[in-house]
Amino acid sequence: MPDELTTEEKRGVDPAEAEQRLREGNARYVAGESSLRDYTAGRAERAAAQYPFAAVLSCADSRVAPELAFDQGPGDLFVVRVAGNLVDDYGLASLEYAVKYLGVSLIVVLGHSGCGAVKAAGEVYRDKAEVPGALPGLIAGIKPAVVDILDRESSSSVDDLIDELVAANVDHNVAALEGESPVLAPRREAAELSIVGATYDIKSGAISFR
């Protein structure tokens, strides 16, 4: 395990500036004005060390590419991906690593429109649908975020509620990261770390911060 970065070694990007960079990058992406990049540039420097300014907990959906959607280059984002952008032990450990050892000042929990994992969780709960293999464990992780909405809106279909369910799942996982992590909590208390939720619209490419 590497030594924790000193203040001088960090990028010096505070949480507000990190979020603004992501907002501006997504605006460029949506407008079709993404920065042209030579991805071979900087390889030698990146081989020596990495200094991402933000971390993204993203769904594994193949249509969601955080570096592209935020118009950031190699080494700018520390991305953790799992279906349903779910906080599990390994994902939490990865994000703790990014904050403690890489100096990340912002974590974005990034959901997306029509999330299949969230929809499956709703269908398993509402319709008693069955899923194979290890999928029940994933569904169990998402279920707490969606049951209240499904119970309250019992006459609406899962498809009709999907936007609300996706948003609730993002909020649920932001809350999980804002819990009692011995790494993240002190940084948040010192205003050195911000944890926010956002939703990516697959059709438009726009990301809405919550």
pLDDT on residue 8: 44
78 sits in which H/E element: strand 77-81
Rg (CA), the chain: 18
**Distance from chain centroid for Cα 44:** 28
Residues 27, 121: Cα–Cα separation, whole Å: 31
21 has pLDDT over 80: yes
> Where does the chain have alpha helices with state H?
15-30, 43-48, 66-69, 89-102, 116-127, 135-152, 158-177, 184-189
Residue 156's region, left for phi above 0, alpha for psi from -120 to 50, else beta, is beta
1 has pLDDT over 90: no
What is the pTM for the complete model shown?
0.93
pLDDT on residue 2: 53
Average pLDDT over residues 16-45: 90
Indicate the pLDDT class of residue 7, thresholds 50, 70 and 90.
very low
140 has pLDDT over 70: yes
Give the residue carrying structure tokens 């809350």.
175
Q: For residue 54, list its beta bridge partners.
A: 77
Q: Which domains does the chain have, with CATH numbers?
A: 15-113+170-209 (3.40.1050.10)
Give the residue carrying structure tokens 């570096």.
67
Indicate the pLDDT class of residue 43, thresholds 50, 70 and 90.
confident
Residue type at 190 in one-letter notation: A
Residue type at 30 in one-letter notation: V
Residues 85, 173: Cα–Cα separation, whole Å: 8
